[in-house]
Structure 1
Amino acid sequence: MGIKLRKEDVDNLIRSISPKVKVFAPKVFEGKGRFSETDMIRYGEIKDLSEIVFDKKSDFSSKEIITPITQTLFFFTEDEFKEAKGEDFTPVIILRSCDMHAIKRFDDIYLRNGFEDIYYKRVREKAKFIVIGCPNSFENCFCVSMGTNETDSYDAYLKVDEDFVYLDVKDKDIEEAVSSLQKMDCEVMPEFVKENTIKVDIPENIDTRIFKSTMWNEYTERCIACGRCNFVCPTCTCYTMQDIFYKDNKNAGERRRVWASCQVQGYTTMAGGHEFRKPNGDKMRFKVMHKVYDYKKRWGYHMCTGCGRCDDICPQYISMPGAVNKLRKAMDEVTSNE
């Protein structure tokens, strides 16, 4: 059972609860695309449901809302340090099923991986997640193969149809927020994509012998190590630390956590200049195996959610599902060579 609301009332509600509550959703950023005079779709604060882009896939995922690209952790002087204050608003994030599954991966890494990351935890505990449907598959998506095309782990499900909003609400805070609005009970069934054009076949017999396959040589030639695939990926969580020293006092500054990428040069550089996985093919091997092998061994399901953003963004047209679909042949290769 769900509820039907007037869109005008919901828009007024969104505007009235700001700035204590901020609503984020995929929206158009005019002129911010990769090429001149092109637009970009990414997550940003909205004041009106009409700002949400429902019919196109966002270029970036919702992860930049809960784990910002650059985040100050603490400030320091010669004698002391002070933890940076967290955001004092509640984020409400409107996202698709694949990105909701990505939040589960973030929880694994930041909350259930032997420690709790306090910076992530304080945002995660406040955040509300509202899922929107995908009646049709977008280009390069393969979420059905990854089992992330559907979810019931949401605080609310949202559908906007002309002047009306349909909600399936599970969270008591959201239920309370809309309680004063004029509404009507109705049936609300989430719309999730059932089939993608692109499919992947992940063999069950993958093991570390696949490191010796010649399939990775192709990516040494093609990949330019730009790292774009990592930055748009909803499940990539790697970061580096930067200490910023102020010009007016070089003994004072702040420590920041900044997104990093396992695909770029220098990511694995150690003291003395030694670098692991220097060939770009080795970097690609690490990424692919982490998404569909290493992570599953630890958590029981694949890290990749099949959103296809890595394929959308790659300037060399390297395909993640294409690489995954080569794994079976690669295992046959290394097995026959033994």
Structure 2
Amino acid sequence: MGIELDVKSFDDALKILSKDYKIFAPIRLKGKGAFSDTDLVTYGEISSYRDIELSEKSRYSPKEIIYPITQTLFYFTEDEYKEPEIDNKGIIVFLRPCDANSYLKLDNIFLKNGPYEDNYYKRLRDKVKFFVIECTKGFSTCFCVSTGSNKFLDYDVFFRFDNDRITCDVKNDEFSYAFSGKEVEFTPEFIEKNEIEVNLPDIDKISQNLEYVFNHELWDEYTKRCIACGRCTVSCPTCSCFSMQDIFYKDNPKCGERRRVWASCMVDGFTDVAGGHSYRQKYGERMRFKVMHKIYDYKKRFGTTMCVGCGRCDDVCPEYISFIKIVSKVTDVVER
């Protein structure tokens, strides 16, 4: 059974929930797009139904809600250090199934990728409640069905937005107090077929032919085409590379803070090491590293592809490089 809401009752629920939660959803920022007089669709805090952008895919994913672009890990002096306080409120995120699944991919990286959990990630991640938006059509560059990220059943509340008619399924009783309305028959639906289908390579076949795939000429194309801007990794909901920065205060150089800052395997300087050496200087080599991590290395370790098929990397690339086509090429090479 579900609950049918009108816009007012939905906004009333948001108002009730905002006392204990910060609420995020896709929003439209007027005039903030990459080109003049264009808008930017990204994630931000909302307070009403009209704030939510449902007609267009967000350029950026919701990962920065729990994995900030710049995050202060601790403040330090000569004698001691202190971790920053975090907001006591919980976090509600309205997101589509692919993005909800991307949080699970990040969990593997930050919480299950060795003997220790990343506490800075975990204390934000533990606050998250999933308010999943029904998505049955997708967008032109989506291929979530191919990656198995088209469904997400471990939601707290599931929403169907049909113009101003809203239906929800409250699975987590923790939120039942906020939603009231007419009870109706309701079964969540998920997309079953994208416009694009991607044939992912068999990882066992890659393992058997790893050196051949590694040295294949297909990567040379991207040495010529890629400009190493890193937009694909910034927009990606599962890319998780970072670097560390120690910031020393001008008024007291013996005090400062350590920050974690997003980085990218695609940009210059990422593989620089002591002694002036640098690995993967060719852009095609970087592309190989990124792609193989998404479809091979990660799957070999965690049993699932890292990519969720959101298609954002294809949407934002200024050189029109298609991740979808690269994966298809790898599959063809492996099958041959």
2:26 partner SS: strand
Q: Could you say which residue in structure 2 is the equivalent of 1:240?
A: 243
1:156 matched to 2:157? The reply is yes
Q: Secondary structure at the match of 1:330?
A: helix
Which position in structure 1 is the counterpart of 2:90? 90
The answer on whether the counterparts of 1:8 and 1:163 sit within 8 Å (CA) in structure 2 is no
Matched, 1:323 2:326: yes
Summarize the alignment of residues 75-154 of structure 1 with structure 2, pairs less than 5 Å apart: 75-114=75-114, 115-154=116-155
Q: Match of 2:277, SS?
A: coil
Say if 1:86 and 1:119, in contact at 8 Å, map to a contact too. no
Match of 2:224 among 221, 226, 233: 221
Q: Tell me the distance in 2 between the aligned counterparts of 1:247 and 1:172.
A: 50
Equivalents in 1 of 2:17, 2:141: separation in Å? Answer: 37
- Distance, in Å, in 2 between the alignment partners of 1:332 and 1:95 is 36
| Conserved 8 A contact 1:213-1:331 | no
SS of residue matched to 1:251: coil
> Offset at 1:118?
1.0
Offset at residue 197 of structure 1 (A): 1.9
| 1:315 aligned counterpart, secondary structure | coil
Q: Which amino acid aligns with 1:89?
A: K
- Kept in 1, the 8 Å contact 2:134–2:161? The answer is no
Shift of residue 332, structure 1, vs aligned partner:
5.6
Name the amino acid aligned to 1:167.
C
> Tell me, what secondary structure is at the counterpart of 1:206?
helix
Runs (5+) with no aligned partner, structure 1: 334-338
Partner of 1:267: 270
Whole-Å Cα distance in 2 between the matches of residues 166 and 269 of structure 1?
52
Write the deviation string for residues 227-269 of structure 1: whole angstroms up to 9, x where unpaired: 0000100111111111111121111111111111010011011
Deviations 1:55-90 (Å, cap 9, x if unpaired)?
Answer: 211101110111111111111112211111122211
Alpha carbons 2:26, 2:53 under 8 Å: kept: yes
Aligned position for 2:69: 69
- Partner-residue secondary structure (3-state), 1:92: strand
How far apart, in 2, do the equivalents of 1:227 and 1:236 lie? 11
Q: Does residue 304 in structure 1 map to residue 307 in structure 2?
A: yes
Compute the displacement of 1:163 (Å).
4.1
Match of residue 290, structure 2, among 287, 291, 296: 287
Identity over aligned pairs, percent = 51
Q: Which moved more, 1:204-213 or 1:306-315?
A: 204-213
Helix, strand or coil at the partner of 2:255: strand
Q: Which moved more, 1:214-223 or 1:51-60?
A: 51-60
Paired residue for 1:191?
Answer: 189
Please give the per-residue CA displacement for 1:250-289, whole angstroms capped at 9, x wherever unaligned.
1111111111101001101100111111100000000110
Q: CA deviation at 1:132?
A: 0.5
Contact 1:141 1:307 in 2 (8 A): yes
Cα deviation digits, residues 66-120 of structure 1 (max 9, x gap): 1111111111112211111122211100000110110110111111222211111
Shift of 1:173: 1.5
Q: Residues 161, 199 of structure 1: CA spacing in aligned structure 2 closer, same or farther, 3 A cutoff?
A: closer
| CA RMSD in angstroms, aligned pairs only | 1.4
Q: Is the 8 A contact 2:130 2:155 kept in 1?
A: yes
Which residue is 1:276 aligned to?
Answer: 279
Deviates more, 1:288-297 or 1:187-196: 187-196
Question: What TM-score does the superposition give when structure 2 sets the normalisation length?
Answer: 0.94
CA distance in 1, matches of 2:96, 2:154: 11
Q: Distance in 2 between matches of 1:13 and 1:269?
A: 50
Q: Separation in 1 of the partners of 2:169 and 2:157?
A: 5
Deviation at 1:162, TM superposition (A): 4.2
Letter of the 1:132 counterpart = I
Q: Does 1:21 align with 2:21?
A: yes
> Using the alignment, how far apart are the partners of 1:59 and 1:215 within structure 2?
28
